[in-house]
Structure 1
Amino acid sequence: MRKKIILSVTTLICIILLVIGGAVLWMRHRTIPETADRSNSIPTLYVHGWGAGARSTNSMIHYAEQYNDAKKVLTATISPEGKVSFSGYWPASAKRPLIQVISVDNKYYNYKVTQKWFGNVLQKLQKDYHIKRYNTVSHSMGNLTTMYYQVTNGQNKQLPALQKQVNIAGHFDGIVGIDDKPNQNLLQKNGAPKIQDSNFKYLNNHRQGYPKKQVDVLNIFGNLQDGSNSDGDVTVVSAKSLKYLLRDRYKDYQELEISGKKGQHSQLHENTRVDRAIGKFLWQK
């Protein structure tokens, strides 16, 4: 009889634990219904680079949560077909909401397509949460995706408006080992790179689509100080060519060069100096 009681109690405890565990899991992944209104919020979207995922933006998000009173509210996952799904919970009390954007097909680099995927994220945020404004923090390939989106849709007043744009290790005019070489290029007196790759030419030809005098820009790039004048993948010239692309378009433009080993391409998103600069730029007046 005693054994039966013990067995029954044990079974009951297991059931309770399973119910609690299920409830916690549901809480973590539930999303607010489509009627949720977050139109007064300005979410910051973190966009990773080529071959990357959550790991490349996790530390930046964690730093913002720990030191900038920010909160990750959603993960936006983009399928290989460009379909977007949200997981997480966006409470109305979130002062500085953060959204991590993850592309399942993380090596796809047709920016005319990936910009549409990014646009799908924004349109779903607009539909489900009624957002009107947003910021971006992009690393490497993510910079080209968001830039292609801006020159395509930046003048569309029916879509959410970009407020602040953080670019990290952006290859706006070539990648070392693919279509660029260390110390091959230079910025001319007018700021334009002497050698211009296909992406730079496309963005330059469509730059009038970028929102005018609306966006504050922080351009962060690395220099290993090893003679290559690059972060190992992106030259300083390629990164700094962004200023010329956005000439007469940006509201404010700032640059931050990270020198030495911490300026390596992938180390730039694991750098507390970068984290501090992003926090100050996005949220401190």
Structure 2
Amino acid sequence: MGIVIFLMIGFSIWHADQKQQREARENYINSNVPTLFIHGWSGTLRSERHMADYAETTGAGQRRMIIRVRPNGHIAVKGKIEKWMHNPIILLRIDNNRAGEFQYARWLTNVCRLLKSKYHINRLNFVGHSMGSYATVYYNLLNSNRSDVPRSNKLCLIAGPYDGIIDNRKANQPLTGSLAKLWDDQPNENRLLKNGQPKIIHPEYQTLLQLQNRMPSQIRILNIYGDLNDGSHSDGVVTTTSALSLGYLVRGHVSYYQTFKATGANAQHSELHNGNLAVNRALTNFLWGRHYNMSSDEPKYNPMLDKMMNPTVLFNHQEHSQTSIGIR
């Protein structure tokens, strides 16, 4: 009897695994383009873990490599990327996680050069959070014409501070030096003009604006941002105006640009990457969803994920909306 029960349990596990693999094949593309995750200010690998966990749980992708950038710029790699791998994920850890977005972008350039020269990666997706998002945009503007880095494919940018960070005077915020000047925004102080340009252009936005025409045209972008619905029109760290100012920079320069707005308590700056189901779903489907229609004004989400999650739980804690603009 014990053997029979053991065999039945084993068969049930095998059957469930086969079903998950079948659903993953039906709902996700099979691509060998790696996706590189970049954390933000004071971030670590834990900042990227929940998003990568979600991708693995749904069968969309799998962690294959961890890259560590030490304070002196030395790069250490654990794992490998092979051509046969299915939607491989690369996690990036920057030890000096308060170096700022411009230094982040320089290190990111070195990482991407290594990925191309040693691992023969020719195309690359990016997922950035906060300063990691800014660094990703800046990196692409700086390196659009270089042949020694992978060609950028999709950019999923979360809570990017393109035109300022709220000066909350928090403990982990620099109060002196050049980086302190990046915390130069306040809630409801800035707004977008009719053409999408922010009324107040902070120096860090001006830096991007001057390089605007260098944005690689093949890139497709999902811009995720948060609104706490507390009157601040922000995620507590980055205002919606600052996050949405990306649109003015990229419209007419990239092949596709879409925004995704998360609202409520789970739309707090750090919570956007910390197990936020709506964000994880949007990110996963944008990067790998077989049914995600890039030409549609209405994003198509993965039906398998709708079955897996309880929508009542999701929407009680967090509303979300999205708009998309396909640029031809």
1:117: which partner in 2?
Answer: 107
Contact 2:65/2:77 (8 A) holds in 1: yes
Q: 1:139: how far off?
A: 0.2
Q: Residues of 2 paired with 1:158 and 1:105: CA distance? A: 25
1:175: which partner in 2?
Answer: 165
1:145 aligns with 2:149: no
For 2:238, give the aligned amino acid: V
Which entry has the higher C-alpha Rg, 1 or 2? Answer: 1
Alignment of 1:40-79 (within 5 A): 41-79=32-70
Alignment of 1:201-220 (within 5 A): 201-212=206-217, 214-220=218-224
Q: Residues of 1 paired with 2:71 and 2:148: CA distance? A: 26
2:156: which partner in 1?
Answer: 166
1:186: which partner in 2?
Answer: 191
Alignment of 1:241-252 (within 5 A): 241-252=245-256
1:156: which partner in 2?
Answer: 146
Contact 1:78/1:104 (8 A) holds in 2: yes
1:280: which partner in 2?
Answer: 285
Q: Residues of 1 paired with 2:149 and 2:110: CA distance? A: 11
For 2:233, give the aligned amino acid: N
Contact 1:68/1:279 (8 A) holds in 2: no
Contact 1:53/1:103 (8 A) holds in 2: yes
Contact 1:75/1:100 (8 A) holds in 2: yes
For 1:174, give the aligned amino acid: G
Q: 1:112: how far off?
A: 3.2
1:135: which partner in 2?
Answer: 125
Contact 2:109/2:149 (8 A) holds in 1: no
Aligned residues: 244
1:221 aligns with 2:198: no
Structure 1 length-normalised TM: 0.83
Q: 1:83: how far off?
A: 2.0
Q: 1:123: how far off?
A: 0.8
Q: Secondary structure of 2:287's partner?
A: helix
Q: Deviations over 1:104-135 (max 9, x none)?
A: 000111x3332110011111111111010000
Q: 1:148: how far off?
A: 1.3
Structure 2 length-normalised TM: 0.72
- The percentage of aligned residue pairs carrying the same residue is 39
Contact 1:172/1:238 (8 A) holds in 2: yes
Greater CA drift, 229-238 or 92-101: 92-101
CA RMSD of aligned residues (A): 1.3
2:244: which partner in 1?
Answer: 240
Q: Deviations over 1:140-182 (max 9, x none)?
A: 0101211111111012244211100001000000001120010
Query: Where does the alignment leave 5 or more consecutive residues of structure 2 unmatched?
Result: 1-30, 168-182, 291-328
Q: Secondary structure of 1:221's partner?
A: strand
Q: 1:90: how far off?
A: 3.4
Q: Secondary structure of 2:42's partner?
A: coil
1:3: which partner in 2?
Answer: none
2:116: which partner in 1?
Answer: 126
For 1:193, give the aligned amino acid: P
Query: Where does the alignment leave 5 or more consecutive residues of structure 1 unmatched?
Result: 1-39
Q: Residues of 2 paired with 1:85 and 1:209: CA distance? A: 30
For 2:272, give the aligned amino acid: L
Q: Residues of 2 paired with 1:156 and 1:127: CA distance? A: 13
Q: Residues of 2 paired with 1:78 and 1:90: CA distance? A: 18
Q: Residues of 2 paired with 1:63 and 1:156: CA distance? A: 33
Q: 1:235: how far off?
A: 0.3
2:203: which partner in 1?
Answer: 198
Q: Residues of 2 paired with 1:260 and 1:72: CA distance? A: 30
Contact 2:81/2:119 (8 A) holds in 1: no
